[in-house]
Amino acid sequence: MNVLVIGSGGREHAIVHKMKQDGIKNIYCAPGNAGIEELATCVPLKVDDVRGLVDFALEKKVYLTVVGPESALQAGVVDAFTASGLTIFGPTRQAALLETSKSFAKTLLKKYDIPSPHFEVFDTSADALDYAGTIAYPAVIKADGIAAGKGVIIVADRSQAAAAIRDIMDNRVFGDAGKVVLIEEFLKGAESSYFVVANERGFVPLGSARDYKRLCDHDDGPNTGGMGALSPSDKLSPQLEEKVVNKIVSPLMGALEKEGIVYRGVLYAGLMIVGGEPYVLEFNARFGDPETQALLPRLEGEMIGILTDSAKGRTFSDRLSLRQDVSVCVVMASKGYPAGPQANTVIEGLKDAVGKDIFIFHAGTKNERGVIKTAGGRVLGVTALGENAHGARERVYKAINSIVFDGAQFRSDIGL
């Protein structure tokens, strides 16, 4: 059986690692990284090289392809694979609009009365600036498109809102993702994420996590792609999870069916819990990063059967079972991240950090003649399992203390 994973981050390393645990021998990853190449054959294809990826999968007779990053979904890789008769896990470009267009997702939520903060959509900065003068603060300014997890800005007053609108729409700090903006009601509560594997026949719960978006301790500093994760989320009780399923996931799947949209893949609901009730902040149409590095080490049993059932539109033949352990993932990032990460720094101590139920997932790394170096902003996701968050934290930070590279930055409060 040949399997292909598309992507190069810690999320993809965690997916490859789980598949290797499941006994899959022939794994390819495009393009991969220095950690993934120890488990799989890395292929020098970009995630949005749709034709190249299709040709490779056909040549290697790939049984299942798993899409990691949202940029590949937006590029239409699932549509192209499906048209070529290949089995691929992930939503089509149309279904992925749940993530790639916040205005699409929010409009769908509003139409079907799925709980979410009030919002307005603007395609000119002048209209957005006018509206910003009429609302209560704090508020949330969002770029409509995908912006590597950085396109959401919480503003305290009208002047901050104006600066955010001009940066997004006029200065295009997030590129074309900022052609349209949403101005959204600010909800104060506890954030969590909930994951299911879905298709048109139903869904299978995958579990919960809590992401830490800000660069620094105590949620200070700029937004990032994610500096760590805790799984399961300490903010989602079993009763709350039931509400998430009944008030959000099930109604959303029904809404997609009514709209004629077939959704196959991971559905990731970013939630705010206010007064014991869940509200949708956003959807992601793929495995989260770094949440996947915390989630998948807790997964018991094989994963590939569930992914294949989803991709083929079959009734799910099994459920997913999670260990009761708590998982803490801490991201180690390069000096200068997120604004201007430095690369080509030697990483030492990786072998010393590994142990039972301790996992080092590579993200921005490269192998130069046997020397592992930094090659991006988020470099490593160090994950540990424990009976509780305290135990997992002790183990993960002990592992981190063994890893050295110049300018390494990481939060010390993940899991608190």
Q: What is the pLDDT of residues 353-409, one digit of tens each?
A: 989 999 999 999 999 999 999 999 999 999 999 999 999 999 999 999 999 999 999
pLDDT band at 317 (very low <50, low <70, confident <90, very high): confident
* pLDDT at residue number 151: 87
* Reduced DSSP (H G I as helix, E B as strand, rest coil) percent helix, strand, coil of the chain, to 5: 30, 30, 40
* pLDDT > 90 in the chain, percent: 96
Interval 69-104: pLDDT, tens = 999 999 999 999 999 999 999 999 999 999 999 999
**Mean pLDDT throughout 186-215?**
95
Please choose, from the candidates 285, 280, 292, 240, the residue with its C-alpha nearest in 3D space to the C-alpha of residue 76: 285
Interval 172-200: pLDDT, tens = 999 999 999 999 999 999 999 999 999 99
Interval 37-71: pLDDT, tens = 999 999 999 999 999 999 999 999 999 999 999 99
C-alpha distances in Å from residue 157, one per residue of 154, 187, 264: 9, 15, 40
Domains of the chain, each with CATH number or no CATH? 2-90 (3.40.50.20), 118-185 (3.30.1490.20), 190-322 (3.30.470.20), 326-400 (3.90.600.10)
pLDDT band at 319 (very low <50, low <70, confident <90, very high): confident
- Using the 8-state DSSP alphabet, how is residue 82 labeled? H
Alpha helices (runs of H) in 34-185, residue ranges in sequence order = 50-59, 70-74, 77-83, 97-100, 102-111, 125-132, 158-165
Judge contact between 240 and 276, C-beta under 8 A. Answer: yes
Question: Cis before residue 31, ω within 30 degrees of 0?
Answer: yes
CA–CA separation, 359 vs 283, rounded Å? 27
* Structure tokens that stand for 372 in this block: 């592992």
Q: Which residues of 17-53 are buried (b: 16+ CB within 10 A; e: fewer)?
A: bbbeeeebeebbbbbbbbbbbebbebbebebbbbeeb
Question: Cis before residue 251, ω within 30 degrees of 0?
Answer: no
**Mean pLDDT throughout 268-275?**
96
**Mean pLDDT throughout 270-298?**
96
User: Which residue is listed with tokens 């978006």?
Assistant: 213
CA–CA separation, 18 vs 40, rounded Å? 12
* Structure tokens that stand for 217 in this block: 């301790």
Strands in 178-319 per DSSP E: 181-185, 190-199, 202-211, 214-216, 220-223, 228-231, 265-274, 277-284, 299-300
pLDDT band at 146 (very low <50, low <70, confident <90, very high): confident
- Angle 151-195-143 from CA coordinates, rounded to 5°: 15
